[in-house]
Amino acid sequence: MKDARRRILDTATRLFYTEGVHTVGIDRIIAEAGVAKATFYHHFKAKDLLVCAYLTEQYDLQRIALPALPGEGRAKLETVFARLAELGTGPGFRGCPFLNAAAEFADPAHPVRAIVDDYRVWFTGFMSGLLTEAGHPSPEPTAHQLLLLRDGVAVSGALDTPEQVRASALASLRSLLDAPA
Amino acid sequence: MKDARRRILDTATRLFYTEGVHTVGIDRIIAEAGVAKATFYHHFKAKDLLVCAYLTEQYDLQRIALPALPGEGRAKLETVFARLAELGTGPGFRGCPFLNAAAEFADPAHPVRAIVDDYRVWFTGFMSGLLTEAGHPSPEPTAHQLLLLRDGVAVSGALDTPEQVRASALASLRSLLDAPA
DNA sequence: CCCAACGTAGACAGGTCTGTCTGGTAAAGT
DNA sequence: ACTTTACCAGACAGACCTGTCTACGTTGGG
């Protein structure tokens, strides 16, 4: 029982992701994390800040994990989308933490939405870079199309059958990349 | 002040869509609809049933509106996606009611999720029909790719700039339709 | 004419939520 | 040895939520 903060954030990540932010209360988190309420409010001033910490960590993790995938240029694009489809469709998985959170926070001015926006800007830039690396003729517009595809994969992955999503995602990716200028 | 039920459902539709289902309470709905609480529970046995009524109505509306759009085959596909992009990106709009609702109800067994699933099945079939009509060589797999695109449009429409989404959506649609078998 | 259906107004119970507070323990640095 | 920091246990306030209930008014069909 070393780091209470770590335990809180791990528990919150699991519960927020699998059950939603609004449906999971503080009492549930502190109970499952084995932590006192005072300890919780010592580390996180309010629930909203815990939500932000959760999303920020997910952002950091993806920002490290996706660029670290093997391959270069176009091959890496395929690897990235295969990984994304895999992530959102596993058993017990529930799509994309950023999109789910954004759907729960309707106010665009909420701090949670700022993190989601940051992630989307980063992802688009990441796509644009890989497209440039692959010698694509129009990286910028195509990057936005890949963002659309990413969103589709994340959402469908949570609602439809994994195989269907994986196959459709890769087929779509190839069509988008091979489209004539 | 004729139809209280109609007023309740209209108010609920507006509030649920723009602010989310969980964040809007019964008290708020009855206040803005100008209706007594007893009247509300006379027409809807529980809040969940009101949510289902809201989504079912949206489903019915789309099932009527989308096929009624002008054009045939491929031209109609373009019209449909232009309309979808338009729908989710207007001022005060907040993406797709079905996806937002699904994100708020994590339990796949909840009745709300059944309605969302119904809608997705219908939409895929609708796409498949239009593709067949357009003489597309592989309607079924392509229909699933268009479902992915639809989800992307709905999500991005709520989070990014409308022009960007509209342009990307149409470009993606053309790439997917023109892809070599 | 009357009664059933629909409507309003609002109190109330029982639960859940966030966030604060008291009180006490344990370990670690200085 | 002392003090700071982190931690646990749990009561508590205040707000909000859903859903039930009483009590009363209006209206239209049989």
Q: CATH number of the domain that B152 lies in?
A: 1.10.357.10
Task: Show residues of chain A in contact with B149, CB under 8 Å.
Answer: 148-149, 152, 172
Domain match, A126 and A98 both: yes
The structural domain count of chain B equals 2
Interface list for chain A against chain B, based on CB atoms closer than 8 Å: 18-20, 22-23, 94-95, 99-100, 102-104, 106, 116-117, 120, 141, 144-145, 147-156, 158-160, 164-165, 167-169, 171-172, 174-176, 178-180
Domain match, A120 and A173 both: yes
Nearest neighbour of B176 by CB, restricted to A117, A151, A175: A175
Domain match, B116 and B150 both: yes
Domain match, A9 and A81 both: no
B40: domain CATH number is 1.10.10.60
Domain match, A62 and A112 both: yes
Domain match, A28 and A67 both: no
To the nearest whole angstrom, how far is the Cα of B1 from the nearest Cα of chain A? 31
Confidence of residue A139 (pLDDT cuts 50, 70, 90): very high
Query: What is the per-residue pLDDT across B24-76, written as a single tens digit (0 to 9) for each?
Result: 999 999 999 999 999 999 999 999 999 999 999 999 999 999 999 999 999 99
Query: Which of A12, A30, A45 is a domain's end point?
Result: A45
Give the pLDDT of residue B126.
98
Q: Tell me how far apart the alpha carbons of residues A65 and A85 are, in angstroms, rounded to a whole number.
A: 14
Domain match, B66 and B36 both: no
Domain match, A12 and A99 both: no
Domain match, A23 and A102 both: no
Domain match, B81 and B169 both: yes
Cβ–Cβ gap B150/A152 under 8 Å: yes
Query: What is the per-residue pLDDT across A16-70, written as a single tens digit (0 to 9) for each?
Result: 999 999 999 999 999 999 999 999 999 999 999 999 999 999 999 999 999 999 9
Domain match, A98 and A174 both: yes
Q: How far is CA A148 from the centre of its chain?
A: 14
Mutate to test the interface with A, among B18, B159, B165, B166 (most CBs of A within 10 A): B159
Residue ranges making up the domain that contains A112: 47-178
Per-residue three-class SS string for chain A: CCCHHHHHHHHHHHHHHHHCCCCCCHHHHHHHHCCCHHHHHHHCCCHHHHHHHHHHHHHHHHHHHCCCCCCCHHHHHHHHHHHHHHHHHCCCCCCCHHHHHHHHCCCCCCHHHHHHHHHHHHHHHHHHHHHHHCCCCCHHHHHHHHHHHHHHHHHHHHHCCHHHHHHHHHHHHHHHHHCCC
Confidence of residue A181 (pLDDT cuts 50, 70, 90): low
Using a pLDDT cut of 70, give the percent of chain A over it: 98
Give the pLDDT of residue A158.
87
Q: pTM for the full model?
A: 0.93
Query: What is the per-residue pLDDT across B121-140, written as a single tens digit (0 to 9) for each?
Result: 999 999 999 999 999 999 99
Mutate to test the interface with A, among B14, B22, B148, B163 (most CBs of A within 10 A): B148
Domain match, B64 and B102 both: yes
